[in-house]
Amino acid sequence: MHTFQVNSQINENGLLSIKLPQEWANQQVNVLLVLEALQNSLKPPEPANLTQAFELLTQLPDDFMNERTGDVPQSREEWL
């Protein structure tokens, strides 16, 4: 058995993709993938923070939605 180090990445959907060597393309190769978690590479999820949302709201122009009228809301069906 031979050991090779290959390039891999986790995409935006959380899927692991691995680039295998080109010379393996025309050969019959069995691949065994061993995942080792590195403590420094695993970050805990960042807590939700609305600071950026509030900053964006402060940047809205003063006349934002001035054209909106005081019409009554559209009617909705009762679903309960």
- Per the structure, the complete domain to which residue 11 belongs is given by 1-38
The secondary structure of the chain in percent helix, strand, coil, rounded to multiples of 5, reads 15, 10, 75
Predicted confidence band at 37 (pLDDT cuts at 50, 70, 90)? Answer: low
Q: What pLDDT is stored for residue 42 in this prediction? A: 58
Determine, yes or no, domain membership for 15.
Answer: yes
73 falls within a domain: no
Task: Report the domain count for the chain.
Answer: 1
Would you say residue 64 lies in a domain? no
Residue 17 inside a domain? The answer is: yes
CA 21 from chain centre, in angstroms, equals 27
For residue 21, is it within any domain? yes
pLDDT of residue 43: 64
**Considering the domain boundaries, does residue 57 fall inside one?**
no
- Does 22 score more than 70 pLDDT? yes
Report yes or no on 19 lying in a domain: yes
Examine residue 65 and state whether it is found in any structural domain, yes or no: no
Q: How far apart are CA 54 and CA 60, in angstroms?
A: 10
Quick one: pLDDT at residue 67? 79
